[in-house]
Amino acid sequence: MSEQLALLPGYLTAHLQLTLAALALAVAISLPLGVVAARVRRIEQPLLAVAAVIQTIPSLALLAVTVAVLAALGLHSIGFLPALIGLTLYGLLPILRNTVTGIAGVDPALVEAARGVGMTPAQQLVRVELPLAMPVVVAGIRTATVWTVGVATLSTPVGAPSLGNFIFSGLQTRNFTAVLVGSGAAAALALLLDALVHGVEVGIARRRRSLVATCLALLVALAAYALAPVATALLRPAARPITIGAKTFSEQYVLSELLALWIQRRTGLPTEVRASLGSTVAYDAVASGEIDLYVDYSGTLWANILRRTEPPPSRQAALDEVASGLRARDGVELVASLGFENAYALAMRATDARRLGIRTISDLAPHARAMTVGGDYEFFSRPEWRALRDRYGLTFAAQRSMDSSLMYQAAATGSVDVISGFSTDGRIDALDLVVLEDDRGAIPPYDAIVLVSARLAREHPDVVAALRALDGAIDAERMRAANLSVDQGGHTPATVARALCDAIGPPDVPAASSTYAAP
Amino acid sequence: MIELQSLVKRFGDRVAVADLSLTVAEGELLVLLGGSGCGKTTTLRMVNRLIEPTSGRVRIDGEDTGALAPHELRRRIGYAFQRVGLFPHMTVAENVGVTPSLLGWDTARIARRVDDLLELVELEPATTRDRRPHELSGGQQQRVGVARALAAEPRLMLLDEPFGALDPLTRDRIQQSFRRIRERLGLTAIFVTHDMGEALVLGDRIAVMDAGRLLQVGTPRDLLTHPADDIVRRLMETPRRQAAAIDALLAGERSP
């Protein structure tokens, strides 16, 4: 608990920055648009239709689309910017719609009176229409506030830290304290912001200056709290920490913490972990220099980044071609191959495998028609699945997508018969599952490799040298044990990473005596 | 002096006002009288350009109103209408003082003017000033509406059935006090109503309209004695018939 609470200020600040900035932008855009739409009725319907369409896009998809669009435009596609744009778009509709409705709902007699007493159109708006529409407009802002605080938790996968980091990593590593801290903090923040906006509204309506002042002061204080780190960074630019990315599963959390610790111990440089990134977001982030390094897998890069459809001729060839391909494409350097593979592997219950005499995927093929296959969300759209299906002629009775943390349990309890597990997942052994041999070599090798950005390679040869020492340092057995102690042992990735770090290298080489420090 | 010259207003194919010309003398109250849809309200609203005429023009003291900015024109003309339209988010004082504040009067002058006007419309300034419109009765709201129309010391008032929604007793009292106010200030006014009784009590002259046309303009006596056509005659007979019915009732009571 205390470990999670220690992370709270950082994520809360980031969450507040995102939420307040997105809300301010959404108000700044949709309030004037709503006023114009209420005046020029011709554009009202099209405008509201566009906002409504944006709203119907699932929020996670909206953020992902923003990333893609920004990348296509050659802009910063990872982190704060896509999250801000996505959240702003999401907040537009309630404010826009309520502004239009609020102004349209003003009694026509009052508009006539406003004209009759000699107000200009601008004065009618400011003195009569907006004040009378204000309760409806503020209701829209409150709706947008609550939504934005909630949806902001989804900005974690696009690389913007938020309270969602607790939720994503907590769900993957079965740490429900983290999930609770994240959701609780988000809910409390939503209620607080909603209450403050409501307070301003009530204060204005009842003309209670002290209430308005108090609520505004609290909002300003929150904004100041959120912006303080930004201001500090601007005034006293500290050394940018070495940023390590992690995708959304236990092994990645452990490895990112391990790399952070390793770099701290070897070079004394500050580090920062940016966890729970979407799978391709992580690569894009290292390619653009948004993060400095992360761990990926040769087969994934072979198929998804290099877009190769044929299987690599050999394990070593895959590593060599990925290394040269990424360097040529984005200047990204492969600095170490950690020494284990984490491949997609078809796994099934050991008892069934014995009964049916299945040892390889070729053995499975004739039985597949009567079986259900389960996979993580991306598996069935990945080239590896197509390769497996085509090479072995696999046809299953049904296929089900589910969260990767749940599929092992699903196989063990019989909800599905075959899963696309990960070969280093400790739960394969623990739940009495067996991995089927890929006897025809359909799945490419998946060596875990450390990728660093072009900038890190250029500016920090000391870090690169430290990372090269990790080459071959972790074998599959060690990784599987580490993963299991997170997934079933109830340990946090940081704790497990510390043990792993101690095991593979001499602990705590002080920064001052580091080989790479100035003599 | 107000001159309405060949005013025409069309809404699409429908002709609301057809070639209407009228003159209102300085200090005179002219009633526009007619049934609903006859074009009387449209005519009134063309005077302060709440509605722009399709053709024709309005002159006030010889000045073409089309040459002024609409909001500047309206600040010089008092306007009161049946639905009153008091701003619910403002106090009574803020409602009354709205046009002076648009004209940039200083606050002390506005405050004095508001109190004077509240007294003029027979409301107690001390107890009314800071209240919100919804705290007032219908009659009090109508009075505040009239006070607001008078606030910027206009020479011309436009009134569109301003006392329409009131009960008969309140309406009678407020009509009387309006007549006193108008006489005291020497206002020129155009007053729209469909109520014959109100027209006869308040009007110096009455203009009868039907289907967008002006049928007859004259003093109440002219219209009663020399109606120009059947419509005007029938219209003028209604108060007489009512008076006769009342006389008959009274006579019946006296002779058991």
Is residue A503 pLDDT above 60, yes or no?
yes
Query: Residue A115: its chain B contacts at CB < 8 A?
Result: 50, 70-71, 74
The label of the residue with tokens 């802002």 reads: A141
B138 in contact with A, Cβ within 8 Å: no
A110, A117, A131: residue with CB nearest B99 = A117
B74 in contact with A, Cβ within 8 Å: yes
Evaluate whether A453 touches A291 at the Cβ level (below 8 Å).
Answer: yes
Is residue B254 pLDDT above 60, yes or no?
no
A109, A118, A127: residue with CB nearest B85 = A109
> pLDDT-derived band of residue A229, with 50, 70 and 90 as boundaries?
confident
pLDDT number for residue A441: 83
Query: Residue B99: its chain A contacts at CB < 8 A?
Result: 117-118
B208 min Cα distance to partner chain A (Å): 25
Average pLDDT of chain A, as a whole number: 88
A115, A120, A128: residue with CB nearest B87 = A128
pLDDT tens for A240-276 read 789 999 998 889 999 999 999 999 999 999 999 988 8
Is residue A358 pLDDT above 70, yes or no?
yes
pLDDT tens for A31-55 read 999 999 988 888 888 888 888 888 8
A126 in contact with B, Cβ within 8 Å: no
A205 min Cα distance to partner chain B (Å): 8
B134 in contact with A, Cβ within 8 Å: no
Is residue A231 pLDDT above 80, yes or no?
no
A110, A118, A127: residue with CB nearest B85 = A110
Evaluate whether B175 touches B205 at the Cβ level (below 8 Å).
Answer: no
Average pLDDT score over residue span A108-122: 93
Average pLDDT score over residue span A452-462: 93
B70, B72, B74: residue with CB nearest A117 = B74
The label of the residue with tokens 């006296």 reads: B254
Residue B91 tokens read as 């106090």
Evaluate whether A169 touches A178 at the Cβ level (below 8 Å).
Answer: yes
B7 min Cα distance to partner chain A (Å): 20
Percent of chain A with pLDDT over 70: 96
Strands laid side by side in the B29-33 sheet: B77-81, B156-160, B188-193, B29-33, B205-210, B213-218
Q: What ipTM was reported for this prediction? A: 0.89
Pairing mode of beta strands A447-452, A333-341 = antiparallel
SS3 assignment for A298-312: HHHHHHHHCCCCCCC
Q: Nearest residue of A to residue B147 by CA position?
A: A117
Q: Nearest residue of B to residue A130 by CA position?
A: B89
* Least confident stretch, A84-93, B86-95, B244-253: B244-253
| B86 contacts A117? CB cut-off 8 A | no
Q: What's the rounded Cα separation, in Å, for the pair A137 and A145?
A: 12
pLDDT tens for A386-421 read 889 999 999 999 999 888 878 998 999 999 999 998
Is residue A518 pLDDT above 50, yes or no?
no
Largest CA distance in chain B: 68
Q: Nearest residue of A to residue B151 by CA position?
A: A117
Q: Nearest residue of B to residue A123 by CA position?
A: B102
A130 in contact with B, Cβ within 8 Å: no
B145 min Cα distance to partner chain A (Å): 10
B99 min Cα distance to partner chain A (Å): 6
pLDDT tens for B230-248 read 988 888 888 888 888 888 8
Average pLDDT of chain B, as a whole number: 90
| B102 contacts A117? CB cut-off 8 A | yes
> pLDDT-derived band of residue A237, with 50, 70 and 90 as boundaries?
low
A31 min Cα distance to partner chain B (Å): 21
B75, B83, B88: residue with CB nearest A118 = B75
List the single best residue of B46, B89, B148 to mutate versus A (max A Cβ within 10 A).
B89
A109 in contact with B, Cβ within 8 Å: yes
Average pLDDT score over residue span A426-441: 89
Among left, alpha and beta (phi > 0; psi -120 to 50; other), residue B5 is: beta
Evaluate whether A420 touches A375 at the Cβ level (below 8 Å).
Answer: yes
Evaluate whether B190 touches B118 at the Cβ level (below 8 Å).
Answer: no
Q: What's the rounded Cα separation, in Å, for the pair A138 and A415?
A: 48
A109, A118, A132: residue with CB nearest B102 = A118
pLDDT number for residue A172: 77
Which B positions 146-175 lie with beta carbon below 8 A of chain A? 148, 152
> pLDDT-derived band of residue A506, with 50, 70 and 90 as boundaries?
low
pLDDT number for residue A515: 38
B99 in contact with A, Cβ within 8 Å: yes
Which A positions 260-299 lie with beta carbon below 8 A of chain B? none
List the single best residue of A117, A120, A128, A136 to mutate versus B (max B Cβ within 10 A).
A117
| B84 contacts A118? CB cut-off 8 A | no
> pLDDT-derived band of residue A513, with 50, 70 and 90 as boundaries?
very low
Average pLDDT score over residue span A170-196: 90
Query: Residue B152: its chain A contacts at CB < 8 A?
Result: 118
> pLDDT-derived band of residue B121, with 50, 70 and 90 as boundaries?
confident
Average pLDDT score over residue span A488-517: 70
The label of the residue with tokens 């430290």 reads: A466
From A395, A14, A392, select the one nearest A185 (Cα to Cα). Answer: A14
Give phi and psi for B136, each to the nearest 5.
-100, 155
Query: Residue B81: its chain A contacts at CB < 8 A?
Result: 109, 112-113, 116
pLDDT number for residue B175: 87
pLDDT tens for B19-72 read 999 999 999 999 999 888 899 999 999 999 999 999 999 999 999 999 999 999
B254 min Cα distance to partner chain A (Å): 49
Report how far apart, in Å, the C-alpha atoms of A32 and of each of A35, A50, A80, A178, B242 are: 5, 16, 25, 40, 57
Average pLDDT score over residue span A71-78: 78
List the single best residue of B96, B98, B142 to mutate versus A (max A Cβ within 10 A).
B98
pLDDT number for residue A516: 37
Average pLDDT score over residue span B180-188: 88
> pLDDT-derived band of residue A236, with 50, 70 and 90 as boundaries?
low
